[in-house]
Amino acid sequence: MDIFRVLWRHRALVVVLVRKELAARYRASLLGYFWSLLNPLMLLAVYAVVFTTVFRPRMAGAQPYALFLFAGLLPWLFFSGALLDAAITLVDNGPLLAKVVCPAEIFPAVTVLSHLVHHVLALPVLLVALAGCAMAGWHPFPWTIVLLPLALIPWILTAGGLALGISALAVHFRDIRDLVANLLNLLFFGTPIIYTLNGIHVGWLWHMLRLNPMTSLIRVYRSLAFTGHIAGPLEWAIAMATGVIVWLAGAWLFGRLRDTLVEAV
Amino acid sequence: MKGHVRLDGVSKVYRRLARRGRLQSLKGALLHGDLVRGLKASEGFVAVDHVDLDVAPGEAVALIGPNGSGKSTLLKLISGILKPTRGTVDVDGRVTALIELGAGFHPEITGRENVLINGMLLGLTRPEVEAKLDEIVRFADIGEFIDQPVKTYSSGMFVRLGFAVSVAADPDILLIDEVLAVGDAAFTRRSLDQIARMRREGVTLIIVSHDLDLVAHLADRAVYLRHGRVIAKGLADTTAARYRSDVAGDEAADRSAAASSVRVVEEGTRWGTGDVEILDVGFSSCGVPMRVVPSGTDCTVHIAYKVNHPVSDFGFGLAWHKPDGTVVGGHNTFLDGLVPGRLGERGEVRCHYPALDLAPGDYVLDVAIHAREGLAYDYWCQAARLRVTSAVEWPGVWAPEHRWESDGSVFFEADTGSSRG
């Protein structure tokens, strides 16, 4: 809760730092913010070509597959991008931490929020694609997508909590970044992103996937953004509980390590 | 009260960065929120050792000492960047720490955006920074460049902008770590002017510097640190003299192992190697021993000494102060061009003033016998006290003989002739 208070007090600074993060990324690039739109667009185009001409997966509830995949990948890219950057954010901002008095927790928060902005900037691509598919009659338009901000809450909390913990640990152990990258790869395939949970017919595997809390997060998101219905209350409860628990754990870890950060960066 | 800084038994222990024991210490951090608890003595490095410090609002204090003495760590503890391992740091008011100018600047974004971020990091709100932007640009003297990415700046522009943002934050307490040495002469002068202005406005100043002349100029008091401990604290120039003597002593000790080390006779007021000892300091006027001298009359300072170990490099020095620490003046035989020849085993040295033009009041005299490089054989602060009297209560410290004249257009009712009454 302490961290929430600190972040709220410095909200103006956080906003400015997020803007800086975005501005610095696209500085000296011709297209600027358009890259936030272009990157997912390219991704979608590649998937559309590959999965309609090369492979033709026939998974129930995942048609058209390129659109299904895209709707699942968007939150995952937000999540994994934020965590990978969280592993370096405190080290990168070391000069600020060590030479200027500033609360360290704003940096992981800025990392998560700037990835959230990228995510939001990519949503128009998804909307246009959904609208296109609806007009072509391939897939009804999921009006539930207006509720998407609700589905983003557990994502933001989970990514925020993990970002806090990872950023603080990464200051002490630089191996964390590689570890996180590998775990994210593992988790990517261990979460129903490129497939559906119902498409798994191996019992033990199904149970393992069901135990992965990220499964709930992706299902809550994708049911709104692709399928067009609202996931069941249990799914929502698991997703929200995951967000809250991960946030609290990350905040606790960060609080424990806060005083040691400056010396180690 | 705003601007008050209080350190109470503050220690800072750094964990030595060894691979072994890292997981162990991390476990400690998670269980107790403390990385150094339960650390063996060999695993920790004590950077600051039990320091007490009380800086009143508006006071200027310098931290001096050799490299690695804990000055910068102490400054970071005061600023809140570091947390003390033991003890408490109480700081009242807004702190700005000038530790590295422009430290937080991001090279890819413009000066304007960097100023905004830095100003907000220092605790200003966005409208406040925007209101001060013109002032900042003017002080930094970078004109159009404010809208260019910072990576295109010259190093001078970079530090000027860094300084301008930091001081624009209206701190109650300004902490400065050796940053004034980075720019050119014009920048240094301008920043010193700015610091002087802030001091007049009542900003508390704590500086770390190796430039002892700057320390004596800027600070009222100094704290001399060595190995994280306070060796001496007191008036800035006295403490700086003590440090100079120790440095010279260290160098002498490096040259010859036989050289005796500096010992402290009386904490804070008298130190030296003891090779030559001051026995007594006294005054006389026209050959008569006195403790009270009328302003403008003949005065002589007598320094009686004794040689304990013969030295070939010697000089005598005097420093006059007011009892509140204001420096009045000083001279030594080196500055006066006297080359050391032979020092008799026991004797007296006199410094003669044909007319002691001091304003009435009490004066304190520091007396030293030292080597050319500053190594003190005996440095005695407040060795003697003299009262100067005068019929007229002249203000200040200087009361020279003088006369008012005119080209004939000004007449005074009565001409008393002598100004000295």
DSSP B230: E
Complex ipTM? 0.75
DSSP 3-state assignment of B301?
Answer: strand
Q: From CA B372, how far away is CA B41, in angstroms rounded?
A: 41
* DSSP structure string for B310-356: --SS-EEEEEEE-TTS-EEEEEETTTTTPPP----SEEEEEEEESS-
Asked if B99 reaches chain A (Cβ–Cβ under 8 Å), the answer is: yes
pLDDT at B257: 42
A-chain residues near B127 (CB < 8 A): none
Which structural domain, as residue segments, surrounds residue A229? Answer: 2-264
* DSSP structure string for A194-221: SS-GGG---HHHHHHHHH-HHHHHHHHH
pLDDT at B258: 40
Q: Tell me how close the Cα of A249 comes to any Cα of chain B, in angstroms.
A: 12
DSSP 3-state assignment of B13?
Answer: strand
Report the candidate in A74, A104, A85, A103 with the shortest Cα–Cα distance to residue A21.
Answer: A85
Residue with tokens 């080209």: B407
Position B252 confidence tier, pLDDT thresholds 50, 70, 90: low
pLDDT at B5: 92
Mean pLDDT over B26-42 rounds to: 57
pLDDT at B54: 92
Predicted confidence (pLDDT) per residue in B146-184, tens digit: 888 888 888 888 888 988 888 888 889 999 987 776 667
pLDDT at A28: 64
Torsion over CA: B97, B102, B105, B109 (sign): positive
pLDDT higher than threshold 90 for residue B246: no
Asked if A13 reaches chain B (Cβ–Cβ under 8 Å), the answer is: yes
> Which neighbouring-strand residues pair with B280?
B304
Mean pLDDT over B118-136 rounds to: 87
Position B21 confidence tier, pLDDT thresholds 50, 70, 90: low
Predicted confidence (pLDDT) per residue in B286-344, tens digit: 888 888 888 988 999 999 999 988 888 999 999 998 887 778 888 999 989 999 988 98
pLDDT at A259: 79
Q: From CA B328, how far away is CA B101, in angstroms rounded?
A: 35
Q: From residue A48, how far is each of A34, A57, A65, A128, A191 by CA, in Å?
A: 21, 12, 8, 14, 21
Asked if B339 and B316 touch (Cβ cutoff 8 Å), the reply is no
Token pair in block for residue A74: 């968007």
The number of C-beta contacts closer than 8 angstroms across A and B is: 81
Asked if B15 reaches chain A (Cβ–Cβ under 8 Å), the answer is: yes
Pairing of strands B95-98, B173-177: parallel
Mutate which of B12, B109, B147 to test chain A, going by most A C-beta atoms within 10 A?
B109
pLDDT at A241: 96
pLDDT higher than threshold 90 for residue A176: no
Predicted confidence (pLDDT) per residue in B345-402, tens digit: 899 999 999 999 999 999 999 999 998 888 888 988 888 889 898 888 888 899 998 9
Contacts made by residues B250-257, CB under 8 angstroms, sequence distance 24+? B251/B373, B251/B375, B252/B371, B252/B373, B252/B375
> Which neighbouring-strand residues pair with B346?
B306
What domains does chain B contain, in order, with CATH numbers?
5-230 (3.40.50.300), 270-337+344-389 (2.70.50.60)
Token pair in block for residue A132: 């296109």
Position B19 confidence tier, pLDDT thresholds 50, 70, 90: low
Q: From CA B242, how far away is CA B81, in angstroms rounded?
A: 30
More confident residue, B241 or A1: B241
Instruction: Determine whether the interchain pair A100/B121 forms a contact, defined as Cβ–Cβ distance below 8 Å.
Output: yes
Instruction: Determine whether the interchain pair A101/B106 forms a contact, defined as Cβ–Cβ distance below 8 Å.
Output: no
What is the percent of chain A where pLDDT is above 90? 39
Over B48-109, what HEC string results? EEEEEEEECCCCEEEEECCCCCCHHHHHHHHHCCCCCCEEEEEECCCEEEECCCCCCCCCCC
Number of domains chain A contains: 1
Asked if A38 and A31 touch (Cβ cutoff 8 Å), the reply is yes
A-chain residues near B24 (CB < 8 A): none
DSSP B207: E
Q: Which residues of B12-39 are buried (b: 16+ CB within 10 A; e: fewer)?
A: bbbbeeeeeeeeebbebbeeeebbbeeb
Mean pLDDT over B207-231 rounds to: 88
Q: Residue A10 belongs to what H/E stretch? A: none
For residue B133, give the amino acid letter: L
pLDDT at B266: 60
pLDDT higher than threshold 90 for residue A214: yes
Cα angle A84, A90, A93 (rounded to 5 degrees) comes to 115
Q: From CA B262, how far away is CA B275, in angstroms rounded?
A: 10
Position A94 confidence tier, pLDDT thresholds 50, 70, 90: confident
B-chain residues near A12 (CB < 8 A): 120, 125-126
Average pLDDT over chain B, rounded to an integer: 83
Of A17, A97, A173, the CB nearest to B117: A17
Which residues between 24 and 43 in chain B have a beta carbon less than 8 angstroms from any beta carbon of chain A? 26, 29-30, 33-35
Q: From CA A35, how far away is CA B140, in angstroms rounded?
A: 35
Q: Tell me how close the Cα of B116 comes to any Cα of chain A, in angstroms.
A: 8
Position A180 confidence tier, pLDDT thresholds 50, 70, 90: very high
DSSP 3-state assignment of B3?
Answer: coil
pLDDT higher than threshold 60 for residue B33: no
Asked if B273 reaches chain A (Cβ–Cβ under 8 Å), the answer is: no
